[in-house]
Amino acid sequence: MEIKMSQFNLGTIILKFDLPAALIDDINEAYDKHNEQMPAYNTQLAGKIADEKKVNTILTEEMKQTFQTCFEKYMQIRNEVKWD
């Protein structure tokens, strides 16, 4: 699976990850299939989000690992930045 990354500096480091369309399609399919069974999660999120579900339980291990890898890459790059 190929994930493309772009890096921007807007006073802090911003990373943009372009995930494969097949992964996004799989996530959307799982969400649509399990939408009614997923618990509401909007009260746990920042801001005024009216309808958001907790998706952790519908993601496969591969999906979770993809997000974990992106997060770890962000942390790696963030720690490499020198501010002096």
DSSP-based three-state secondary structure for 19:
coil
Q: For residue 36, what are the CA distances in angstroms to 13, 27, 58, 61?
A: 37, 15, 12, 22
Of 66, 64, 58, 61, give the one whose Cα is nearest residue 1. 66
Distance CA 44, CA 29 (A): 24
Tell me the pLDDT tens digit for each residue of 27-71: 999 999 998 888 877 777 777 777 777 888 899 999 999 999 999
Number of domains in the chain: 1
What's the pTM value of the predicted model, to 2 decimals?
0.76
- Between vectors from CA 34 to CA 33 and to CA 39, what angle results, nearest 5°? 160
Domain limits for position 9: 4-80
